[in-house]
Structures are given as structure tokens and as C-alpha cells.
């Protein structure tokens, strides 16, 4: 699988993502500029974290209109893989490639802290390297990670088993205290119906090295590399 | 404003004394234009000219074999090995942060970032040293909230991890908080960019944000005390745009991979004026600016406004003419303004033209050479007497005192603050805030890491500025050492009151003396810094605060240790404990007294203990290490226990020192080591001539104290973590 990272102005976690991808794939990802319209033979597009266009409008709203997004949509329509992390997840919702929206954190403050994510299904290209029921740690770093969708959408996501990760305790229990940004039904990440598009708020790419505190995030990337 | 006559009265409002104005007139030999008066007033402001402090700063050691550029450049540069250099500096944004806490702090971060990437370094970490007023004072909460949001808002967006710093509270900062921001970057050693302009005819290029009317005379505002009218100075505060800064970083670093740049400097304090004057002055050339070409955000701006604006996220460059178009393409790719606004000349003059008129024409050499330099009178206060431990009554059990100390504003957990700063971005943060005595950030693609800290104990400096200045440098050196790093160099941020008051200047002189002695003895030179004077409100100065930013290097990031204690380890105390209670937090928080002499630093013992500890860390003996600082030994033990979530059983202290003084005294030069087995470490210390003693063993869930008391780690943590959420929560 050939990975590429889409760069919008103001994106700032592209280096972290490139390191994590290179560790798992054995080669560096291609960097795709926001004005490009031809993605070539890329199989996996990653929309990394940051503050695209400063997030001076709604988070991700400007990036969702960037020239490259036409190619991203075509890639999704072809059944290509897309991973959106943090600002990338926000962009995917603003582009309506995933449902719902990311609102201000419940406490109205930026949260930079480790959280625990419970893996809700392991039969996808993104999650195949976790055991069923696995819980992993990942840093979160966002001001707008409070997942919101109307009740019908949430029911559909759950009914179709499209919730990929939930905020939980280290023991895997979903509690209000573990859901620090206040996300609806503790949703941290969701999948598209064809299971090819994943958006999540926390940063597995920042926990792929024992020296930096652990390799909890590595299975996401090794699973993609093996898919 | 432009209607007023250009005279001594206007000059005074611009911050120039009568004598300084007369000197400007003599240099010019004619009446000044408004723009020229503006240029003189900002270039000769305390903030830009260091006219009160320069004489003293010369005493600081600035050289070592690894120092590439010391003070005088945009930031200090030291060699760290593998063909790389570390570029770093700390700078204050105190006055703006009081007037408008969010933007004041945010633009402080933005400004110091530019000082570092303008030299060709990619910023890899930010730290900040913050001093706030009494938590009970009505404005403190608003200022803490705004400053923390501002630092996070800027740093998180620009994508540089905020990895460390410090926070103190004291009533002396009620009307004048301190916001000292530090940035650390890394550059190839042969690709360092300087600011001296060269090449007659070369284009002067403006890049970044457009110029607006914000921050006009910010440098002058930062060179005056506050009165009751501080609120009215809000228009002098700049507004930050971290998104543009992020683009500017990437565009500048991309351009720096080419050979287009002759010289580059950010437009910081005094904006276009100071950057162009300094670049031309350093290069011994002249500069001719066409202000009509300056990208402008507002219409109808005058020459005076454009020259004095402190709009953020702007850089000035001198380019090789044949590379100018390639440079333009890079900035256009990043959607940033790029404008040729002038040429380098051989006239030695600063000339600014606007709408067909010469608005300023000033000879550069006298503007620099005849800048005011004052030998301010100094009066040093008498040093307080030592406070023998036996003369301090103790009515409190160790557990009770410890629980209260851990919950006090100066010692409590800062997690509430850190959690608003992105500390992991970049994917290289080895030791996050609170995990070790210094932050440890690996260098991308390398095994080595930098250790980073900021330190100062203002209450020590207030009691004895010389001892306090020495202690601040020693503590920074100690905190770097405690991770296993080799301390390299220092950036300083000297925050004091009104230099025209002899007692303020006396404390400044004494603090410098103390710092210099420690820098000398520890081979820890000062390579960059910033002086912030006039930190007073309504005549009351702040506590003297010479904040020290320290940088060290550790060749193998995997060898770095943190403070988290593991189970079944011996705790060894390295260094001498005499039970020094003077100016300790126990004395203030528990006994309700703020007196005595601060703890002295024995620099020879400091160095011996530090070198011994570093050696043990690097040979793998040490599992965790924590310096003994604010709150003393028992607080240090508790901090290690809380970080590792494990209990400790402590042994009885020495007979000759009263228990409360032994466990809470703040004797300097001490470390706590967690090791598998104490005896061999104690023997090695003896051989090295360093004091060391086993003080306890880890295990279980409680702290078992030598006076018979017991307290659980869970309870300690509850006390430790309560303050900030309760203070800031609702």
C-alpha cells in the first residue's frame, strides 16, 4: 500500500505522521500539496492534525474546500483508504465524507493529555492488529474534539457498527470522566460504511516509540501496512 | 497626534528625556520629523537600547568552546554535535500580558519563535516562566486564564510543543505579571543566518503579514512603569496570528535551504525601524526604504505609523538580487506577502521615503554610538541574617506540613496548565512536563536529545539578589543534570523594577554578580537574553526575577531519567543537608514567616555533586532522579512517589539537625536518586568527595515518615492536584 499525506496550510502534525507511517511501511509517504489534483497511485491518503488555515472559520471548513479535496473525494469514491486524524477528522466531517461534527471540548479548553481508546471492531484495515476489546493509550491534543451528531445519525453509526474507537478508562470502561471532551456516546473515531475511511481525534502517531512512552499507537499503522 | 509640534514635550511623551532629545537634535543638526522622533525614541528606549543594563551585562561570562554565537545576535547558538547547533533565547512580554493577557502572552510566544527561526533553526520546543500575583487578588485569575490560553493558542497552532517552564505566585506581581517565553531550535551548524546587511544595491525584502496600526510604540510602553491608566495602553498591544507564523516558519526554512539570503531579521519590538536600523548598522551600510511598497492592512497609514508598528509575523531580509524571484515564488507558494521595500546603500544613513517625501534621514553610526548609556546609581540592601533552625518553632507533624505544602499554589500540580499546551507535537518529546526535572526533546533523526529548563526563585532574589542570582543559575544546571544531560549554556531574562531607583539597580547589579559567579564556576555561559525593566505598578516593584533558561545535551535520549519512582528501590540523598529554613516554602506556608537569608550555593560542591550524579545516570545505575528544591527533601520524596505511584518508608534523619529543618530545609546542591542498591552508590560518592546517604526505600502505597506519621500517596495526590482546578474551575 502506498501512503500519502495531504498538506493544507497550517497543518502541523505531518512530520509526526510521516515518522509513524515510515516505521510501519518501511518507506516514506508522499507529501501531497493542497493544490494538487492528481494523486497518482496512492492507496492511502492521510489527513493529519493541525490548524488548517488557522481554523479561523469552523475547524476544517476551509480545508474541505481546497483544490485537492476533489481528488480526495474521487479516491474515496473509488474505494481508496483515507485516515483523518484530529484536524484531518474535522476536515472529513466538513467535507461530508464522514457524518457529524466536532464541537468545542465540553470544558471549553484545549486538552493535551493521554487518553485511552477502546477498539470497537477489529475486522477493518485500520484496526486488524488489535485484539477484540483492546484498549490503547494515545495523546489527545485538541480544542474541538467533542463529537456531535443527531440521534438518528448516532443510532445509524452504532447500528451499522461504524464506531471505531470510544474514550474509555484503562480498563476499557466507558465513563463520563474518561470522555473528557464530552463526545456524544464517547465516540473518538468513526468509519465510513465501506470501512475505508477512518476519522479519529487522538494521535496514535505520537505513540509509536517506546522511548517516547510506548508503542500503543503502532497497530493502526502496521495494520494499514499489511492491508 | 500628528498635529502636535515636534518638540521636547512630545519627545517626553515618546519616552525620551530632555537630554536624550537634545542629543538627537545635535546628531541631526536640524528639527526632527515625526517619523525621526519616533525612530530615536524607540531605538533609545530601554527595551531596545539596554541603556541602563549594558554596563552590568558585560560581567556575564559568554564564552565556551561550544559557543558559536553569544549575546548580540537574535538568539544564542551552541554546538551540540553531529553537525548541529542549538539556537535559543528567552524574552519577556510582561507589560503587554498585564494589559491584554491573551494577546500579550500569545505574541510573546510568536516573537521568541521568530528570534530563533530567523537564524535558520527549526523551533523544536517552547517553555515559559510565569509569575502571577496573589491568587486571592481579584485580577489574578483573569490573568492566569488569559496567559495560559494565549500561550496555548499560539504554540498549539504553530505546532511547536510547549514542554516546560515554571509558575510562581506572589503579591508583588499583582499589577505586573511576568511572562517570559523561551524557544529552542536546531539548525545545521554551517547554515546559521545572521542579521548584518551587506551588498550595496541588494534588495531589502519584507515578508509575512501586512502592517497595521497595532502595537505602535510597544517598545516605549515596555520601557515605562504602569500607573492607573494601564488599561488605556491596550492599543499598544499587538495581535498574534499563529497560522501566518506557521507559514512564515515553513517559507523561511525553505528559502534558507537556498543561498538567496544575505541577512535576515524578524520585525519584533519597534518593528520595521529596529530591524532595518540594526541590520544596516551591524553591516556598516546604509538602507533606503520605500514605505509605499510596504504591504499594508489599513489605508492611510503615515510613515510614522509604518515605522513604529509592531504588527506581528513579519520578517525583513536582504537578498542576493539574482535570487529574489526564486524567493518570491517560495513565499507566494506559502501565500505570504513578499515585497521589495528598499535597497542597501553605501551612505551609512537610514532613509525612509513615503509618497514622494523623505520622512526620515538619520545617520546610523551616531544613532548607535551615541545611544544613551547610563551608569545608574546602585544601592544594595543589607543582607538578611541567617535564620538558625533552632530558632523556628515547629508545631506541625511532618505529614500535616507535607500535605499543606504540596497543595500550596507554588508547589501544587501544574497539570491544569500543561494540559492546555500541546507537549507531544513533533513526535520527539521524551520527557513531558512534570516527568523529569527538565524537559527532554529528542532531535529528529538523531539519538541525542536536548534537556531544557527555566528556573528562578524570586523570593530568594528579593532577600539577597546575589545569592538568588547564583541559585537560579545553579538550579537550572542541576535540573539539566538530573536528567543525565550535560549543561551547555544559558539564556537569561532579567525582570526588575525601575532602574532609576538605586535600590532596584542595586539588586540588578547584585543578581548579575551572583549569576556570573555560577556561570563561571559551572562553565555554563550566557549566550542570549533579554532585560525587562520598569516592572512596577504605582511605584511598587516586582520581586527581582532573573529567570534562567538552561539547555543541555544528552547523547543518547534513551539514557535520560525522570522523577517517577519505581517500587523496591533505595533512595539516596546526594549533597549536604544543614536544615536551611531561611526563605523556605515551609517557613512561609507553614510557619507563616518570610525571613532569613536564602540558602547559599557552594559552587564547588554543586559541581562535584552534579558531575557525580550525571556519571551515575549515564552508566545506568540510576532509575529516577529529582533535585531537591522548593519545599525541601520531603517534598522531593513526595513528588517522586506521586509520579511513580508508589510509597516510601523513610529513615530517621541526622540527630544534629531538627526534623522539620532536615525534611523541609532548602539546602542547595542536592539530588535524590532511586537506585537498586544504595551501599555501592554511597561508597562511590565517598570516593568522589560527595556527601551521600540512604534515606529510605520505596514500596507499598504510603509515605511512612520518621516521626511516626503516615500518609497515603493517593491522599498526597489529592492535595497536590486540588488547587488549580478549584482556583480556575468555576
Q: Is B80 helix (H, G, I), strand (E, B) or coil?
A: strand
Chain A residues within an 8 Å CB radius of B556: none
What is the rounded distance in angstroms from the CA atom of residue B511 to the CA atom of residue B544? 8
* pLDDT-above-70 percentage for chain A: 100
What is the rounded distance in angstroms from the CA atom of residue B696 to the CA atom of residue B718? 23
User: What is the distance of C-alpha B329 from the center of its chain?
Assistant: 36
Q: Is B249 helix (H, G, I), strand (E, B) or coil?
A: helix
Q: Is B84 helix (H, G, I), strand (E, B) or coil?
A: strand
Ordered alpha helix ranges (H), B163-262: 218-221, 242-256
Q: Is B660 helix (H, G, I), strand (E, B) or coil?
A: helix
Q: Is B248 helix (H, G, I), strand (E, B) or coil?
A: helix
E strands present in A97-151: 101-103, 111-119, 135-142, 146-148
* pLDDT-above-90 percentage for chain A: 100
Q: Does A107 touch chain B (CB under 8 A)?
A: no
Measure A211 CA to nearest chain B CA, in Å: 6
Q: Which of B666, B448, B642, B473 is nearest to B562 (CA)?
A: B642
pLDDT along chain B (730 residues), means of 10: 80 94 97 96 92 95 98 96 98 93 96 97 98 96 97 98 97 96 98 97 97 77 63 71 97 98 92 95 97 96 93 96 97 97 98 97 96 95 93 93 98 97 97 97 97 98 98 98 98 97 97 98 97 92 97 98 98 97 98 96 98 98 98 98 98 94 98 98 98 98 96 98 91
Nearest CA in chain B to A143: B420
Q: Does A199 touch chain B (CB under 8 A)?
A: no
Are B157 and A112 within 8 A, CB to CB? no
List the B702-704 sheet strands across, edge first.
Answer: B624-627, B671-675, B570-574, B692-698, B648-650, B702-704, B710-712
Per residue in A185-203, pLDDT (tens digit) is 999 999 999 999 999 999 9
Residues 6+ apart with CB under 8 A from B215: B236, B237, B238, B271, B309, B310, B311, B312
Active site residue B47: yes
pLDDT at B729: 85
Residue with cell 502571577: B132
pLDDT at B229: 63
Per residue in B110-143, pLDDT (tens digit) is 999 999 999 999 999 999 999 999 999 999 999 9
Q: Which of B617, B694, B679 is nearest to B649 (CA)?
A: B694
Q: Does B442 touch chain A (CB under 8 A)?
A: yes
Residue with cell 528544591: B629
pLDDT at B1: 45
pLDDT at B223: 61
Question: B180 forms bridges with which residues in the sheet?
Answer: B92, B129
> Considering Cα of B36, then B363, then B308, then B328, what sign does the dihedral take?
positive
* Residue B578 near residue B662 (C-beta atoms within 8 A): no
Chain B residues within an 8 Å CB radius of A24: none
What is the rounded distance in angstroms from the CA atom of residue B717 to the CA atom of residue B319? 56
Question: B35 forms bridges with which residues in the sheet?
Answer: none
Per residue in A112-125, pLDDT (tens digit) is 999 999 999 999 99
What is the rounded distance in angstroms from the CA atom of residue B684 to the CA atom of residue B689? 9
Q: Is B443 exposed, middle or buried (0-12, 13-18, 19+ CB in 10 A)?
A: buried
What is the rounded distance in angstroms from the CA atom of residue B22 to the CA atom of residue B29? 10
Are B159 and A50 within 8 A, CB to CB? yes
Measured at the CA of A63, the angle between CA A58 and CA A66, to 5 degrees, comes to 140
CA B356 vs CA B359, B398, B472, B475, B638: distances in Å: 9, 77, 54, 57, 70
Measured at the CA of A111, the angle between CA A110 and CA A113, to 5 degrees, comes to 155
Nearest CA in chain A to B246: A10
Active-site residue set of A: 86, 203, 205
**Total Cβ atoms within 10 A of residue A151:** 9
Mean pLDDT, to the nearest integer, of A16-27? 97
Residues 6+ apart with CB under 8 A from B614: B481, B484, B485, B486
Question: B226 forms bridges with which residues in the sheet?
Answer: B537
What is the rounded distance in angstroms from the CA atom of residue B728 to the CA atom of residue A184? 26
Measured at the CA of B588, the angle between CA B587 and CA B590, to 5 degrees, comes to 70
* Residue B529 near residue B427 (C-beta atoms within 8 A): no
Q: Does A28 touch chain B (CB under 8 A)?
A: no
Q: Give the number of beta-carbon pairs within 8 Å between A and B.
A: 87
pTM for the whole structure: 0.96
Q: At what angle do helices B633-644 and B398-407 cross, to 10 degrees?
A: 70
Residues 6+ apart with CB under 8 A from B585: B405, B408, B410, B411, B630, B631, B632, B635, B664, B666
Closest CB to A16 among B157, B418, B426: B426
Cell readout for A167 is 474514550
Q: Does B568 touch chain A (CB under 8 A)?
A: no
| CA R_g for chain A | 16
Stated as kind and residue range, the H or E segment containing B405 is helix B398-407
Amino acid at each position: 500500500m502506498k501512503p500519502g499525506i495531504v498538506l493544507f496550510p497550517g497543518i502541523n502534525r505531518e512530520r509526526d505522521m510521516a515518522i509513524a507511517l515510515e516505521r510501519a511501511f518501511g518507506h516514506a509517504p508522499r507529501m501531497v500539496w493542497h493544490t494538487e489534483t492528481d494523486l497518482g497511485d496512492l492507496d492511502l491518503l492521510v489527513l493529519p492534525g493541525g490548524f488548517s488555515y488557522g481554523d479561523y472559520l469552523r475547524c476544517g471548513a476551509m480545508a474541505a474546500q481546497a483544490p485537492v479535496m476533489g481528488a480526495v473525494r474521487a479516491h474515496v469514491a473509488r474505494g481508496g483508504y483515507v485516515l483523518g486524524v484530529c484536524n484531518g477528522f474535522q476536515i472529513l466531517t466538513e467535507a461530508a465524507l464522514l457524518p457529524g461534527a466536532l464541537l468545542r471540548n465540553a470544558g471549553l479548553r484545549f486538552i493535551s493529555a493521554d487518553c485511552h481508546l477502546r477498539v470497537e471492531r477489529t475486522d477493518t484495515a485500520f484496526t486488524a492488529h488489535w485484539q477484540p476489546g483492546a484498549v490503547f493509550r494515545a495523546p489527545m491534543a485538541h480544542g474541538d474534539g467533542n463529537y456531535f451528531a443527531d440521534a438518528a445519525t448516532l443510532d445509524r453509526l452504532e447500528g451499522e457498527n461504524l464506531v471505531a474507537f470510544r474514550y474509555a478508562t484503562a480498563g476499557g470502561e466507558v465513563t463520563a470522566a474518561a470522555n473528557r471532551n464530552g463526545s456524544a456516546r464517547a465516540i473518538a473515531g468513526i468509519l465510513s460504511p465501506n470501512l475505508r475511511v477512518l476519522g479519529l481525534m487522538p494521535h496514535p502517531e505520537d505513540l509509536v516509540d517506546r522511548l517516547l512512552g510506548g508503542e500503543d499507537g503502532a497497530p493502526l499503522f502496521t495494520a494499514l501496512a499489511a492491508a | 497626534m500628528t498635529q502636535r509640534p515636534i518638540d521636547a514635550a512630545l519627545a517626553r511623551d515618546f519616552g525620551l528625556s530632555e537630554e536624550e532629545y537634545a542629543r538627537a537634535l545635535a546628531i541631526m543638526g536640524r528639527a526632527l520629523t515625526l517619523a525621526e522622533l519616533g525612530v530615536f525614541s524607540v531605538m533609545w528606549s530601554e527595551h531596545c537600547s539596554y541603556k541602563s543594563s549594558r554596563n552590568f551585562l558585560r560581567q556575564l561570562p559568554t564564552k565556551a568552546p561550544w559557543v558559536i554565537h553569544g549575546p548580540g545576535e537574535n538568539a544564542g547558538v551552541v554546538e551540540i554535535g553531529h553537525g548541529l547547533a542549538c539556537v535559543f533565547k528567552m524574552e519577556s512580554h510582561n507589560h503587554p500580558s498585564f494589559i491584554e493577557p491573551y494577546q500579550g502572552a500569545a505574541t510573546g510566544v510568536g516573537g521568541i519563535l521568530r528570534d530563533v527561526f530567523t537564524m535558520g533553526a527549526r523551533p523544536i520546543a517552547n517553555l515559559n516562566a510565569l509569575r502571577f500575583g496573589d491568587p486571592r487578588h481579584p485580577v489574578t485569575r483573569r490573568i492566569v486564564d488569559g496567559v495560559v490560553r494565549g500561550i496555548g493558542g499560539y504554540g498549539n497552532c504553530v505546532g511547536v510543543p510547549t514542554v516546560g517552564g515554571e509558575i510562581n505566585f506572589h503579591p508583588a506581581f499583582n499589577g505586573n505579571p511576568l511572562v517570559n517565553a523561551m524557544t529552542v531550535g536546531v539548525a545545521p551548524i554551517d547554515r546559521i543566518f545572521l542579521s548584518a546587511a551587506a551588498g550595496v544595491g541588494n534588495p531589502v525584502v519584507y515578508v509575512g503579514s501586512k502592517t497595521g496600526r497595532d502595537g505602535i510604540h510597544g517598545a516605549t510602553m515596555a520601557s515605562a512603569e504602569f500607573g492607573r491608566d494601564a488599561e488605556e495602553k491596550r492599543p499598544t498591544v499587538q495581535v498574534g496570528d499563529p497560522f501566518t507564523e506557521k507559514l512564515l516558519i515553513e517559507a523561511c526554512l525553505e528559502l534558507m535551504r537556498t543561498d538567496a539570503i544575505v541577512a535576515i531579521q524578524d520585525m519584533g519590538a519597534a518593528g520595521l525601524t529596529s530591524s532595518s536600523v540594526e541590520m544596516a548598522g551591524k553591516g556598516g551600510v546604509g538602507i533606503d526604504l520605500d514605505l509605499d511598497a510596504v504591504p499594508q492592512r489599513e489605508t492611510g497609514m503615515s510613515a510614522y505609523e509604518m515605522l513604529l508598528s509592531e504588527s506581528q509575523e513579519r520578517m525583513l531580509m536582504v537578498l542576493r538580487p539574482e535570487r529574489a524571484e526564486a524567493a518570491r515564488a517560495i513565499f507566494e507558494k506559502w501565500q505570504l506577502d513578499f515585497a521589495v521595500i528598499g535597497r542597501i546603500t553605501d551612505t551609512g544613513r537610514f532613509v525612509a521615503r513615503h509618497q514622494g517625501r523623505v520622512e526620515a534621514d538619520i545617520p546610523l553610526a551616531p544613532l548607535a554610538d551615541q545611544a544613551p548609556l547610563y551608569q545608574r546609581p546602585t544601592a544594595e540592601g543589607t543582607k538578611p541574617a541567617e535564620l538558625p533552625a533552632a530558632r523556628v518553632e515547629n508545631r506541625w507533624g511532618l505529614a500535616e506540613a507535607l500535605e499543606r505544602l504540596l497543595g500550596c499554589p507554588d508547589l501544587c500540580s501544574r497539570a491544569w496548565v500543561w494540559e492546555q499546551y500541546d507537549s507531544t507535537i513533533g513526535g520527539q518529546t521524551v520527557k513531558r512536563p512534570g516527568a523529569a526535572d527538565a524537559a527532554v526533546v529528542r532531535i529528529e533523526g538523531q539519538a541525542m536529545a536536548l534537556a531544557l529548563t527555566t528556573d528562578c526563585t524570586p523570593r530568594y532574589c528579593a532577600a539577597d539578589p546575589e545569592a538568588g542570582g547564583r541559585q537560579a543559575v545553579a538550579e537550572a544546571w542541576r535540573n539539566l543534570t538530573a536528567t543525565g544531560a550535560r549543561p551547555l549554556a544559558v539564556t537569561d531574562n532579567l525582570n526588575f523594577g525601575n532602574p532609576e531607583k538605586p535600590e532596584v539597580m542595586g539588586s540588578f547589579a547584585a543578581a548579575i554578580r551572583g549569576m556570573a559567579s555560577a556561570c563561571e564556576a559551572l562553565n555554563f555561559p550566557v549566550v542570549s537574553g533579554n532585560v525587562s525593566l520598569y516592572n512596577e505598578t504605582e511605584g511598587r516593584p516586582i520581586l527581582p526575577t532573573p529567570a534562567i533558561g538552561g539547555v543541555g545535551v544528552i547523547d543518547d535520549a534513551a539514557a535520560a531519567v525522570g522523577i517517577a519512582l519505581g517500587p523496591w528501590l533505595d533512595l539516596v540523598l546526594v549533597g549536604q543537608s544543614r536544615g536551611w529554613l531561611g526563605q523556605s516554602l515551609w517557613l512561609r506556608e507553614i510557619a507563616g514567616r518570610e525571613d532569613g537569608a536564602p540558602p547559599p550555593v557552594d559552587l564547588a560542591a554543586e559541581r562535584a555533586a552534579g558531575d557525580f550524579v550525571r556519571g551515575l545516570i549515564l552508566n545506568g545505575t540510576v532509575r529516577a532522579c529529582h533535585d531537591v528544591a522548593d519545599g525541601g527533601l520531603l517534598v522531593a520524596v513526595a513528588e517522586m512517589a506521586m509520579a511513580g505511584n508508589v510509597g516510601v518508608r523513610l529513615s530517621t534523619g541526622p540527630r544534629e539537625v531538627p526534623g522539620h529543618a532536615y525534611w523541609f530545609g532548602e539546602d542547595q546542591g542536592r539530588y535524590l536518586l532511586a537506585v537498586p542498591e544504595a551501599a555501592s552508590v554511597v561508597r562511590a560518592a565517598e570516593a568522589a568527595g560527595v556527601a551521600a546517604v540512604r534515606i529510605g526505600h520505596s514500596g507499598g502505597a504510603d509515605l511512612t515518615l520518621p516521626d511516626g506519621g503516615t500518609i497515603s500517596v493517593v491522599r498526597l495526590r489529592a492535595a497536590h492536584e486540588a488547587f488549580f482546578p478549584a482556583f480556575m474551575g468555576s
